[in-house]
Amino acid sequence: IIIEPTGLGHPAKLIANLRGDHYQTVLDLKAIIVLVDARQLRNEKYTTHETFIDQLQMADILVASKMDAYTEEDAQLFYEYVSTLKPARSKLAMIEQGRLDPAWLELPGSTNISPVFADSHHHDDNHSHENEHKDCDHVSSWVQVEGRADGFVSSGWRMASSLYFNYQALHDWLVRVQGELSLDRIKAVLRTEQGWMGINMTDKDLAIQLLSKDEQAFPESKLEMIAMEGNQSVDFIDINQQLLDLNMLKERNESS
């Protein structure tokens, strides 16, 4: 079982739960693998953030991903940064194109690593906003949920598979959003008229790919955005309306 928690999550509580009495007879927790973009180690927004610090602190294996995008200074900064972690990590590595060695999944986890900010983790209850398309046979065809945790805000969308976007219009919108808004992350799988679009965006990178042309490949579209709390450029209500305007359901109904 591979467990990938949210990027906003403080790892200490999850690790403690998995190593607790309830799971003692059914789980053998292996090494904690943490991916970091070494380019962000220049950004105090991350390096002074308690959750970011503890995510690196709790790692057994610390991996700098996106190595192909690094300068020599980025790589040097990664090794300089991790050298300050105590105790020393069992393994350090840099990878590109997500090529993580599967053998690392079997390495044992350490039990002597403690978080620096164990009591800092907090989150507010999520606030749900539901928007229904009248022409769709799903009652909850369009659901938006906003959350807040550890100095970040997030918004997630679930959209019925009967709703879809124009591939090029959605692509152009994402490029504009990355340039205009200070978003930390977008992850999504969205249905378009060409097929299912996969999206993985940070403030530095935007990866868009066509995942499948099969209409039934995924049960629904999903999208999540994350930004720093207090970011004045991000208005999830406005973004929700932009997504509604991009959706092609109305256009399809008018032409039928």
In this prediction, residue 192 carries a pLDDT of 95
Q: Residue 156: what pLDDT?
A: 94
Rounded distance, CA 174 to CA 186, Å? 9
Band (pLDDT 50/70/90 cuts) for residue 149 is confident
Give the C-alpha distances (Å, rounded to integers) separating 246 from 118, 122, 142, 159, 160. 42, 35, 13, 13, 15
pLDDT in the model for residue 169: 94
**How many residues make up the chain in this entry?**
256
Question: What is residue 98's predicted lDDT score, i.e. its pLDDT?
Answer: 85
- Reported as a pLDDT band with limits 50, 70 and 90, residue 93 is very high
Q: Is the pLDDT of residue 138 over 60?
A: no
pLDDT of residue 95: 93
Q: Where are the alpha helices (DSSP H) in the chain?
A: 11-18, 44-47, 50-57, 72-82, 167-180, 236-246, 249-255
pTM over 0.85: no
| β-sheet bridge partners, residue 200 | 187, 207
Best CA proximity match to 1, nearest among 26, 21, 25, 22: 26
